[in-house]
């Protein structure tokens, strides 16, 4: 079953919300002493929305929209649905040796489907940011359902693609004409995706890759997304030659984050790989044109140590909850 916050925590938050309802309502009764009966549905919509903003996604989708028409109207307010944050939801899964390499429990899928469908119905197509946990494995069908119901999406954070096929992600990208920012895993065959983004997302300018970046991936970015402005490759393995391709080929790039990366030198050919302790002058010269070039290769840095221990492929489940959402680039952090 999909992991949720403890029932005690949700109950406490619910009680806080109810208590806030009571305090607001009591104040209203004092202001209008002539009214003998005040109904919950008569509470001002702006006040309801303010209260609902303190609820988490489980509370918003638990059925409060069915209390009355006034509450449903408040539940559908765009202020509540600029961002759908599912970073607290994790699939209950086991690893398997064959594709998609994970098996997700049916009840876990059912919980995610309920939360997503309810959220999408309430959002009325107003979602602009969608965030999935790195251990939340969305199916092809659910991704398509989601994409069709949030056509205004501008930012997608989805680090787990195990169950998503080429046709599924391409169909979703075609729905997201306004997409500007994507956080994704490293994939073996990136051209099909980058080509789809280039054709359909004219305002796309920001990319974060959670995983190794090789020469093929770097060359693909240069070929299909030459106008990319922001790129984060933090906490991963990065070939020196791939970094040079990015710096030479992405002429519109303004911000590049390679903090805590393992930068590997593979020259001369067939020579043993060598981990760079510092960036050489050639790379620094090429990067000098950037507005921001973020690096960290310190042995004393905890994140650098973790990347090294995980051999450039971060096992985020081992570390603090929410650490994977961090980024030195402010627009990519959450």
Asked whether residue 10 carries a pLDDT value surpassing 50, the answer given is: no
Indicate whether 12 belongs to any domain. no
The DSSP output letter for 123 is H
> Do 96 and 76 share a structural domain?
no
The DSSP output letter for 236 is B
According to DSSP, the β-strands at 83-86 and 129-132 are: parallel
For residue 71, the model assigns a pLDDT of 87
> Do 228 and 115 share a structural domain?
yes
Full-model pTM: 0.85
Q: Which of 50, 80, 110 is the last residue of a domain?
A: 80
Indicate whether 23 belongs to any domain. no
Asked whether residue 118 carries a pLDDT value surpassing 90, the answer given is: yes
Quote the domain boundaries for residue 284: 81-332
> Do 269 and 253 share a structural domain?
yes
Pick from 168, 193, 191: which is nearest to 182 by CA? 193
Rounded Cα distance, 91 and 312, in Å: 24
Helix (H/G/I), strand (E/B), else coil: 12: helix
Residues 6+ apart with CB under 8 A from 71: 40, 41, 48, 64, 65
- Report yes or no: 86 and 93 within 8 Å, Cβ to Cβ: no
> Do 187 and 52 share a structural domain?
no
**Residue 84: enclosing H or E segment and its boundaries?**
strand 83-86
What total of structural domains would you count in the chain? 2
> Do 256 and 205 share a structural domain?
yes
Q: Exposed, middle or buried, 181 (CB in 10 Å: 0-12/13-18/19+)? A: buried
Report the percent of the chain where pLDDT is more than 90.
75
For residue 70, the model assigns a pLDDT of 86
For residue 38, the model assigns a pLDDT of 63
Indicate whether 31 belongs to any domain. no
For residue 270, the model assigns a pLDDT of 72
Indicate whether 17 belongs to any domain. no
CATH of the domain at 205: 3.80.10
> Do 178 and 316 share a structural domain?
yes
- What six digits make up the tokens of 237? 């393995």
> Do 158 and 70 share a structural domain?
no
pLDDT, one tens digit per residue, over 163-206 is 999 999 999 999 999 999 999 999 999 999 999 999 999 999 99
pLDDT, one tens digit per residue, over 54-83 is 988 988 998 888 888 888 898 999 999 999
Indicate whether 287 belongs to any domain. yes
Indicate whether 16 belongs to any domain. no
Rounded Cα distance, 334 and 324, in Å: 9
> Do 133 and 105 share a structural domain?
yes
Pick from 326, 257, 330, 325: which is nearest to 85 by CA? 325
> Do 187 and 135 share a structural domain?
yes
> Do 263 and 280 share a structural domain?
yes
Q: Which residue has the higher pLDDT, 229 or 42?
A: 229
Asked whether residue 285 carries a pLDDT value surpassing 70, the answer given is: yes
> Do 142 and 68 share a structural domain?
no
> Do 100 and 55 share a structural domain?
no
Helix (H/G/I), strand (E/B), else coil: 317: helix
Mean pLDDT of 85-108: 93
DSSP bridge partners of 208: 183, 232
């Amino acid at each position: 079953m999909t992991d949720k916050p403890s029932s005690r925590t949700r109950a406490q938050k619910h009680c806080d919300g109810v208590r806030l309802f009571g305090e607001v309502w009591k104040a209203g009764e004092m202001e209008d002493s002539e009214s003998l009966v005040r109904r919950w549905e008569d509470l001002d919509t702006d006040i309801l929305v303010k209260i609902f903003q303190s609820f988490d996604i489980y509370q918003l989708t638990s059925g409060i929209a069915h209390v009355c028409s006034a509450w449903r109207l408040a539940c559908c307010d765009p202020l509540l649905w600029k961002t759908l944050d599912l970073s607290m939801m994790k699939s209950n899964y086991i690893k398997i040796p064959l594709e998609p390499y994970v098996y997700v429990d049916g009840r876990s899928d059912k919980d995610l489907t309920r939360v997503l469908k309810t959220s999408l119905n309430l959002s009325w197509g107003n979602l602009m940011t969608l965030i999935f946990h790195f251990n939340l494995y969305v199916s092809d069908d659910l991704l398509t359902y989601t994409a069709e119901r949030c056509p205004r999406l501008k930012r997608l954070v989805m680090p787990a693609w195990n169950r998503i096929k080429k046709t599924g992600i391409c169909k979703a990208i075609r729905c997201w004409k306004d997409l500007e920012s994507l956080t994704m895993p490293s994939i073996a065959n990136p051209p099909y995706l980058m080509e789809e983004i280039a054709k359909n997302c004219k305002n796309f300018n920001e990319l974060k890759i959670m995983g190794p970046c090789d020469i093929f991936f770097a060359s693909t970015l240069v070929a299909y997304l030459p106008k990319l402005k922001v790129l984060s490759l933090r906490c991963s393995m990065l070939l020196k030659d791939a970094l040079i391709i990015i710096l030479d080929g992405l002429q519109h790039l303004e911000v590049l984050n390679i903090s805590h990366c393992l930068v590997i030198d593979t020259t001369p050919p067939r020579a043993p790989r060598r981990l760079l302790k510092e960036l050489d002058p050639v790379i620094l010269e090429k990067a000098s044109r950037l507005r921001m070039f973020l690096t960290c290769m310190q042995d004393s840095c905890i994140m650098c140590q973790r990347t090294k221990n995980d051999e450039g492929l971060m096992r985020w489940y081992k570390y603090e909850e929410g650490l994977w959402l961090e980024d030195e680039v402010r627009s990519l952090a959450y």
